[in-house]
Structure 1
Amino acid sequence: MGTIQIRDVPDDTERTLKARAEREGKSLTAYVRDLLSEEAATPTLDEVMAKIADDEPVPYDPEFVRETLREGRR
């Protein structure tokens, strides 16, 4: 596992994070580690758009769509 050290965190920010960690029964380190893991697991809009751009296009046939809708309404 890697190590990240953050300097110059504003006092208000540190107090808020400590209070939130305490409410969840976690250490500040565990709480911030969970926040960072959640952030890293959530793709950015640019990452999502790049994934969409890399996907193979889906062919669009209007008649197929109409027929599918008709069949679904029966």
Structure 2
Amino acid sequence: MGVIQVRDVPEETERTLKARAEREGKSLAAYVRDLLNEEASVPTLDEVMTKIAADEPVPYDPDFVRETMREGRR
């Protein structure tokens, strides 16, 4: 496991996070760790766009699209 140290956190922010952690029955470290894990689990827009750009293009056949849409409406 890595270690992250954050300096210069405003006192109001620290109080808010401590209160939220307490309400969830967690330590401040556990609460902030959960926030960081949640943030890291969601790709950024740039990451999504990079993945899309790297994907193989999908061939576009208007007749296939129309037929698929017709079948889906039945």
Structure 2 length-normalised TM: 0.92
Give the aligned partner of residue 44 of structure 2.
44
- Percent of aligned positions with the same letter in both sequences? 84
Give the 5 Å matches for 1:9-48.
9-48=9-48
**Which secondary structure state, in structure 2, belongs to the residue aligned with residue 7 of structure 1?**
coil
1:21-64, Cα deviation, whole Å (9 max, x unpaired)? 00100000000000011111110000000011011111110011
Offset at 1:15? 0.2
The number of equivalent residue pairs is: 74
RMSD, matched Cα = 1.1
Offset at 1:70? 2.6
Q: Residues 72 and 37 of structure 1: is their aligned pair in 2 closer, same or farther, counting only changes over 3 Å?
A: closer
Residue 4 of structure 2 corresponds to residue 4 of structure 1: yes
Unaligned runs of 5+ in 1: none
